Amino acid sequence: MHKIKRDDLVKVIAGKDRDKQGKVLHVDTKNNRVVVEGVNMITKHVKPGAGNPQGGIVQKEAALDISNVMLVVDGKATRVGFEVKDGKKVRVAKATGKVID
């Protein structure tokens, strides 16, 4: 179980997109990277193909390190911990003690 999951709302705490918020689109647990919607945009040159017959230059999100994002709970960036409740391991917001899942 990881502290950041897909569809979580996160805030970027470091880098060129600091203080931006977005939804997590993809989590790469092996390399500790996340892709956040609308954050860390890159320009990519795409060849024409079935999905994009025109080709050209597109903007897309690039992965950033998972340590550069924090989970947003009740509008604030929050540390995440784990506790065992009712025999299940659950994510808990450190500041409020609120169960996230």
In a domain, 36, yes or no: yes
In a domain, 24, yes or no: yes
In a domain, 101, yes or no: no
Domain count, the chain: 1
pLDDT truncated to tens, each residue of the chain (101 aa)?
789 999 999 999 999 999 999 999 999 999 999 999 999 999 999 999 998 899 999 999 999 999 999 999 999 999 999 999 999 999 999 988 999 87
**How many other CB atoms are there within 10 angstroms of residue 61's CB atom?**
17
In a domain, 52, yes or no: yes
pTM for the model = 0.87
CATH number at residue 55: 2.30.30.30
Structure tokens at 3: 């502290």
In a domain, 76, yes or no: no
CA distances from 34 to 21, 52, 87 (A): 13, 25, 29
In a domain, 78, yes or no: no
Distance CA 56, CA 31 (A): 29
CA distances from 9 to 5, 12, 88, 100 (A): 9, 10, 23, 11
In a domain, 83, yes or no: no
User: Which structural domain range is residue 38 located in?
Assistant: 6-71
